[in-house]
Chain A
Amino acid sequence: MALVKLPEVASVIRSKNSGPYELTLDVIFKNKEAFEAACRAQVINKSTIAKLYGISEDEVIGIIEFAPAHAIKATIVRPFPSGALGETDVYGAQQHAPLLNLEFELT
């Protein structure tokens, strides 16, 4: 058992709009083994996402494990709709950073 950070086992960690009202976070693992280990550890779940982004679990719309791409994605309600007054990231492309520090037990 070892504690690893997400960037050690993932090749893609990104955020993007999923329409103007949702923000979706994709983590694509380097291989099947890492993906499966991350799924076993439930490293990305409603509670971890809510904690990382300081939002309530109700604002986490869903967590999906997508085996064909060795990917786990989480989708959250955008704090502001894209382009609304006070919004800071119209494309939603720079909201992934908190995931870079996510640690989990690789079993």
Chain B
Amino acid sequence: MNEFRVLSPTAILGYGFPEESFRAGLARDPHLIAVDAGSTDPGPYYLGAGVSFTDRAAVKRDLELMIEAGLERDIPVVIGTAGGCGADPHLEWNLEIILELTREKGWQFPLGVIHAELDKELVRQALRQNRISPLYPAPDLTEEEIDAAKHIVGQMGPEAVMSVLGQGAKVVLAGRSYDPAVFSAAAIAAGFDKGLAIHMGKILECGAIAASPGSGSDCLLGTLRTDCFIVEPLNPARRCTPTSVAAHTLYEKTNPYILPGPGGVLDLRETTFTQETETAVKVSGSKFLPGDKYTVKLEGAKCVGYRTVSIAGCRDPIMIGQIDHITEAVRERVQDNFKRYGYKYFLHFNIYGKNGVMGNLEPQPNVTAHELGIIIEAVAETQEIANTICSFARSTMLHYGYPGRVATAGNLAFPYSPSDFKAGAVYNFNVYHLMEVDDPLSLFPSKIIEVGKEKR
């Protein structure tokens, strides 16, 4: 085999893609269809709560097209970071969608399922053996934080995916995965260069974002050869350019020359990007440098309380001019009112129109807005306390008599009734560390399920 073609339909499973682009990709006879289904970008809630940030119907639609195409052509379909975060509940959620499709479509195939949620005792032992280090600037890990985490996942490398493909899986559903792993595993197993395969995976994992104009909901094709790879969009409205592809390499990364991943680093110091055709870019010179030890990135999130928010607007210039004083006065009033109960809570006023987006990083601290958006947020150890604090802060702010006030009917414009929203549990990332392992497969148990067999 001197060429390995990988079709990436979309940046994240459930973000969708035009069927026309997908068919143009299939017409190129890919050897693999792969998709990344997750990200830490939407924040800690989804990992902590065990729910997906993508919509079920949208995920099902993408999977139906992808798996159908894979089965028709007898090429593997590989899904990484199932359910958005790749812990066990996410994997189960995504598995249920595949099983539902299987029943509806009458499919029958061996499905490889790879778990990535870690047993806490295993993480505790690794911490005691000094095999866990923080990823700067995350703080050191402690046993208390391990205990507090709701879910801890490890990012699998290509080895775990290679293993289930080797056992004959036609579709692979993997828990938390290093993004390029699902795109590169089959090619590495077929003997292609690991550095090129992983770098190609890194570009493919965001779908057509690496094209110009870029899009996270359109397809990209990667063609891996022995000494280079070529990436190209499948929608005639887009083209890849050396700058668009190189620029994607640095997206969301600290250092675009040395990119750490499971088992080593991707070294792009000698990588070149050249225009191959009108729309395709050739990439060569990327290398994989194995590390002394195999490390796996861990991610975890813990519950820190329950949130209630109230959304309001302010159009009174006299109030806008004193907004800092008013929020402080409301904060003190809330504290004083409930001091006998000793509630522990976090009360925050996020003021859009005054540093609402950049907070402390804002270089323009002075208010110039003619109106302000105000979000009153309370987080407390129970939903009831959060409701109480938010409600009291809201009513206090609504009627607060600030100096010079002429609008005595009320200070806030509420767009909704009810004005307060119970947002439920709040999570923080509390594990973002590297763990040394002896065997790249040891954290990622897998099984092959013969789906569709039970019906026949």
**Interface of A toward B, CB cutoff 8 Å:** 12, 16-22, 24, 26, 28, 52-55, 61-62, 64, 66, 68-71, 73, 75, 77-91, 94-95, 97-98
In the complex, the answer to whether A95 meets B44 with C-beta atoms within 8 Å is no
Interface size on B, as a range, is 35 or more
Residues 397-426 of chain B, each 1 if its beta carbon lies under 8 Å from chain A, else 0 = 000000000000000000000000000001
Cross-chain contact A73 with B256 (CB below 8 angstroms): yes
Check if B236 is an interface residue, CB within 8 A of chain A. no
Nearest-CB residue, chain B, relative to A82: B43
Q: In the complex the two chains form, is B249's CB within 8 Å of A86's CB?
A: no
Q: Which B positions have Cβ atoms within 8 angstroms of A?
A: 40-45, 135-138, 242-243, 246-247, 249-257, 271-273, 304, 346, 348, 350, 356-363, 379, 426-429, 432
A/B interface sample: 26 pairs, CB < 8 A: A16-B252, A18-B253, A19-B40, A19-B432, A20-B138, A20-B429, A21-B135, A24-B253, A26-B251, A54-B360, A64-B256, A64-B257, A66-B256, A66-B257, A68-B249, A68-B271, A68-B272, A69-B247, A77-B137, A82-B40, A82-B41, A83-B45, A85-B379, A86-B348, A87-B359, A88-B358
CA distance A98 to B358 in the complex (A): 10
Residues of A within 8 A of B363 (CB): 52-54, 98
Q: Is the CB of B254 within 8 A of A24?
A: yes
Q: B358 and A94: CB pair below 8 A?
A: yes
How far is the CB of B47 from the nearest CB of chain A, in Å? 10
Q: Are A55 and B361 in contact (CB under 8 A)?
A: yes
Contact partners of A70 in chain B: CB under 8 A = 243
- Assembled-state Cα–Cα distance A24/B363 (Å): 17
- Would B247 and A79 count as touching, CB distance under 8 A? no
For B272, list chain A residues within 8 Å (CB).
Answer: 68
> Do B361 and A53 touch (CB < 8 A)?
yes
Say which residue of A18, A69, A79, A84 sits within 8 Å of B249 (CB atoms). A69
Are B250 and A88 touching (Cβ within 8 A)? no
Is A86 touching B359 in the complex (CB atoms < 8 A)? Answer: yes
A41 CB to nearest B CB, Å: 20
